[in-house]
Amino acid sequence: MSEKPLAPEAARDLVLAEVAPLGGEPVRLEDCLGRITAAEVRSPISIQPFDNSAMDGYALRAADTEADQPRLRLVGESRAGHPAEVTLGEGEAMWISTGAMVPEGADAVLPVEDTSEADRQVLPARAARKGENIRRAGEDVEVGQVLLGPGQQISAGEVAVLAAAGVAEVDCAERPRVAVLGSGDELIPPGEPLGRGQIHDSNTYALGALVHEAGAEPTQVAHLPDDAAATQRALTAAELHQLDHPAEVEVDAVRKPDVLIVAGGVSVGRHDHVKGALAELGVEKRFWRVAMRPGGPTWFGVLAREAGRPTLVFGLPGNPVSAMVTFHLFARPALRAMVSLDPHGTRTRAILATTYRKKPGKAHYLRCRLELTAQGWRAHLTRESQGSHVLTSMLGAGALAEIPADAEEIAAGELVEVELLR
Ligand code: AMP
Ligand code: MG
């Protein structure tokens, strides 16, 4: 039975329609890097928490420095972490270090360079301005201020602000759990010698890396032989999430994968058993075949569950370039949407550096290196040959340039949509 291939955008919309956002979980600040906030984070304190000095110098009253040749009595010290216990009176000065609490009564800090000190007397070399060199409490952040909204990715800057606010634990979106399966009798893991007719398995490694890059968690990686019964057994185990657990682990206690990716064995060959096995397991097909190159023979379905979230199932083409391209176009948007990131947030436009010609009918996705120029991003093909068997076209690829289905030629210098890979 032949089916009309879907446009890539239509296929992606069908995927996104099945996404249920994941819940949140508390994550220790030191483990937050790269995670996505699940809720707003407000500051429990103000930053800075108290008025403090921006300089090493003397805390004083600005008015006292306006006299002719003023002399101030040195009455003590306010050190960082050791605030002065006394209030500063008229005609008095107090040694203060950067970050130390400004003593009560003082309204300015004169830097040490603008003073001299003799016999416990401070001689300002110039008049101080009121408020000078004082960092005000709450100047940066007020108590209760929203530091981060939901759906925000945590980078080093976010970690710094959260730490300063004393937030030790953040409510982050759970990381999508992804099971990756590779299919084919010909596949041998890297590190083992190849026999006749064998090739190394690159897909499970590539997809595991892509899952990581997408901020999700590869929970298991397994291999399916080209055998109907064995394929079904392995898929059953993956779906139930038993592969990495001893038999006595209660299956219900383990969170099911949110996404199952099978690469290879999905097509119409005599030894492709994946679609049949998925149907047996109750995975409902949503689409099969997309009008794109590489990546046409892509399958997508959903396993509904009585309790809990459904598992999204991607049957990607076994061809390694196709598997990676279709991951980027279909699986990654789903993984982003699950953690409330914009699924389309990885798209932009670039100038195609060389003319590209093709037959109309399918969208083409060209592996490109991006260069930032005065005119904006320029996309250069990583390899002139964009054949789907040329895996080295992925080396250094920062983007996929999209050549629309109906286009026959995009001339050098024209703008195209690109899907950023990093
Ligand atoms: P299939 O979709 O199973 O027909 O596979 C299509 C092509 O991709 C064949 O040339 C397979 O040998 C190759 N292939 C399938 N799985 C992998 C894999 N995990 N690593 C490398 N190549 C693969
Ligand atoms: Mg195969």
Read off φ and ψ for residue 234, nearest 5 degrees: -65, -40
Pocket of ligand 1, beta carbon within 6 A:
182-184, 186-187, 199, 201-204, 263-267, 269, 317-320
Q: Per residue in 402-421, pLDDT tens?
A: 999 999 999 999 999 999 99
Q: What's the chain's Rg over C-alpha atoms?
A: 31
State residue 254's pLDDT score.
Answer: 60
Q: Provide mean pLDDT across the span 120-142.
A: 97
Q: Provide mean pLDDT across the span 142-152.
A: 97
Contact 51, 107 (CB under 8 A): no
Cα–Cα distance measured from residue 237 to residue 123, given in angstroms and rounded to the nearest whole number: 81
In order of 201, 256, 390, the CA distances from 194 in angstroms are: 11, 34, 20
The band of 151, judged by pLDDT with boundaries at 50, 70 and 90, is very high
State residue 371's pLDDT score.
Answer: 98
Q: Provide mean pLDDT across the span 376-385.
A: 96
Q: Per residue in 44-84, pLDDT tens?
A: 999 999 999 999 999 999 999 999 999 999 999 999 999 99
State residue 402's pLDDT score.
Answer: 98
State residue 144's pLDDT score.
Answer: 98
Cα–Cα distance measured from residue 275 to residue 265, given in angstroms and rounded to the nearest whole number: 8
Cα–Cα distance measured from residue 256 to residue 285, given in angstroms and rounded to the nearest whole number: 19
Closest listed residue to residue 352, CA positions, set 366, 363, 340: 366
User: How many angstroms does the Cα of residue 318 sit away from the middle of ligand 2?
Assistant: 6
Contact 186, 52 (CB under 8 A): no
Q: Per residue in 1-46, pLDDT tens?
A: 457 899 999 999 999 999 999 999 999 999 999 999 999 999 999 9
Q: Which residues pair with 417 in a beta bridge?
A: 349, 402
Q: Where are the beta strands (DSSP E) in 159-252?
A: 169-173, 177-183, 187-188, 199-200, 217-224
Q: Which residues pair with 263 in a beta bridge?
A: 182, 316
Q: To 10 degrees, the CA torsion angle through 151, 156, 158, 160?
A: 160
State residue 245's pLDDT score.
Answer: 47
State residue 251's pLDDT score.
Answer: 47
Pocket test for ligand 1, best of 201, 298, 319 (most atoms within 8 A of CB): 319
Higher pLDDT, 308 or 323: 323
Identify the residue whose C-alpha is closest to ligand 1 atom 14: 318
Q: Provide mean pLDDT across the span 356-370.
A: 98
Q: What mean pLDDT is reported for the chain?
A: 94
State residue 240's pLDDT score.
Answer: 62
Q: Which residues pair with 199 in a beta bridge?
A: 187
State residue 388's pLDDT score.
Answer: 87
Q: Over pLDDT 70: what percentage of the chain? A: 96
- Residue matched to tokens 């006394």: 86
Identify the residue whose C-alpha is closest to ligand 1 atom 15: 318
Report the nearest atom of ligand 1 relative to the CA of 183.
16
Q: Per residue in 392-404, pLDDT tens?
A: 999 999 999 999 9
Q: Per residue in 241-273, pLDDT tens?
A: 554 444 454 544 467 899 999 999 999 899 999
State residue 387's pLDDT score.
Answer: 87
Q: Which residues pair with 250 in a beta bridge?
A: none
What SS3 state is found at 47? strand
**Which sign, positive or negative, has the C-alpha torsion 22, 207, 332, 310?**
negative
Contact 331, 260 (CB under 8 A): no
Secondary structure string (H, E, C) spanning 86-99? CCCCCCEEEEECCC
Cα–Cα distance measured from residue 328 to residue 335, given in angstroms and rounded to the nearest whole number: 10
State residue 383's pLDDT score.
Answer: 95
Q: Provide mean pLDDT across the span 195-209.
A: 97
Two tokens, residue 277: 């096995």
Q: Where are the beta strands (DSSP E) in 234-352?
A: 259-263, 284-288, 292-293, 299-303, 311-316, 347-352
Closest listed residue to residue 397, CA positions, set 345, 324, 313, 307: 324
Contact 99, 52 (CB under 8 A): yes
CB atoms within 10 A of CB 311: 24
